[in-house]
């Protein structure tokens, strides 16, 4: 009887370890589990906090790109970040005639690298407290670290805070941000 009990406990511990390995590494985003085996788009569509971003990515025709091999680092603004833009901005950007502007805004949130927060923090320290990050959209974002938290300043001087870092994807990493990073227009 004791042997069966020990086997059962061992099996339970092993199953728990497997479940933790499969689900415990990434933080949840928008109430949804994020899986390292899925790409950026496959995970983002499950986050209730990123429905506006997903709609914008679709409208800009960037789904195929962000499902691609990468690696990509995406600074992913939440719905709340989009709603903080001036009234009507999101609706205007989503119109087909504004696709080039929408694409520019979105690609200013994407870096062609797999940059975990620890790596970004090291670059900030190595550069004396501020590191310029060049995005796929040609924007330059200034990264800083304050009390262990990373902030990103866009070309207009607006500051976004990384609220959830290091959400690993099969083709890169997502860092959730609380502000939309805008290019200088």
Pick 28-177's CATH classification: 2.30.180.10, 3.40.50.620, 2.102.10.10, 1.20.1290.10.
Answer: 2.30.180.10
Distance CA 13, CA 7 (A): 10
The tokens describing 129, both together, are 């407290």
Q: Do 140 and 134 contact (CB within 8 A), yes or no?
A: yes
Phi first, then psi: give them for residue 9, nearest 5 degrees: -65, -40
Does the bond joining 74 to the residue before it have cis omega, within 30 degrees of 0?
no
* Average pLDDT of every residue of the chain: 87
Instruction: Give the tens place of pLDDT for each residue, 120-174.
Output: 999 999 999 999 999 999 999 999 998 889 999 999 999 999 999 999 999 999 9
Model pLDDT, residue 31: 87
Residue ranges, the chain, pLDDT below 50: 1-24
Domain residue ranges in the chain = 28-177
181, burial (CB in 10 Å: exposed 0-12, middle 13-18, buried 19+): buried
Model pLDDT, residue 1: 43
């Amino acid at each position: 009887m004791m042997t069966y009990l020990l086997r059962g406990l061992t099996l339970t511990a092993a199953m728990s370890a497997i479940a933790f390995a499969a689900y415990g590494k990434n933080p949840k985003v928008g109430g949804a589990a994020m899986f390292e085996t899925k790409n950026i788009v496959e995970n983002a569509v499950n986050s209730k906090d990123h429905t506006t971003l997903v709609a914008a990515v679709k409208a800009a025709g960037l789904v195929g790109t962000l499902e691609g091999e990468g690696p990509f680092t995406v600074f992913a603004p939440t719905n709340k970040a989009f709603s903080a833009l001036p009234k009507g901005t999101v609706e205007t950007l989503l119109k087909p005639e504004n696709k080039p502007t929408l694409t520019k805004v979105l690609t200013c949130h994407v870096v062609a690298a797999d940059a975990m927060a620890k790596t970004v923090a090291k670059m900030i320290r190595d550069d004396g407290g501020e590191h310029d990050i060049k995005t796929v959209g040609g924007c330059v974002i200034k990264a800083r670290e304050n009390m262990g938290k990373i902030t990103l300043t866009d070309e207009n001087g607006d500051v976004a805070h990384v609220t959830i870092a290091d959400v690993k994807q099969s083709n890169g990493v997502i860092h959730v941000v609380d502000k939309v990073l805008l290019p200088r227009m």
